[in-house]
Amino acid sequence: MPQAALGSHSEWHRNLTTVESDSLVASLRRSRETLRVLSGQEVHTVAAPGGRYDDRVLRDAGRAGFQASFNSDPCYVRSDTSPYRICRIEIRGDRGPSALQAVQSTRFVAVQATSWQMRR
């Protein structure tokens, strides 16, 4: 059975856009290493807490050794999508469709995009 992929959500649950670059890179490296030691597998992806990121955070994630970054922006992943701007579909246990329905339904993605814009 293949191992599940493991990604970092940062060392802290803070707004990463407010953290100075050198401190952010060091912290992201620590989170990667801690997860690697605990899990026994390499950690290649990161997702910023609260979906708060900017271009600098994405560059710093690359400097910290991450190969990709996930975000909560409503979109579809296309062949020309940067690996540092991979969007994801929010699937929660307290409302909405099942995981299978979410990935099969373009209507759900459109609805989520609308509700996401209303929350921001």
Domain edges within the chain: 7-88, 91-120
Q: How far apart are CA 66 and CA 76, in angstroms?
A: 21
Q: Identify the segments of the chain with pLDDT beneath 70.
A: 1-4, 89-120
Q: What percentage of residues in the chain have a pLDDT greater than 90? A: 43
pLDDT at residue number 115: 46
- 3-state SS, residue 117: helix
- The residue whose two tokens read 């759900």 is 108
Fold designation for 7-88: TIM Barrel (3.20.20)
How many other β-carbons are positioned within 10 Å of the β-carbon of residue 60? 24
Burial class (CB in 10 A: 0-12, 13-18, 19+), 84: buried
pLDDT at residue number 90: 61
pLDDT at residue number 32: 95
What pTM value is reported for the model? 0.71
The overall average pLDDT reported for the chain is 79
Residue type present at position 114: T
Q: How far is CA 55 from CA 2, 58, 59, in A?
A: 33, 5, 6
Of 8, 69, 16, nearest to 43 (Cα)?
8
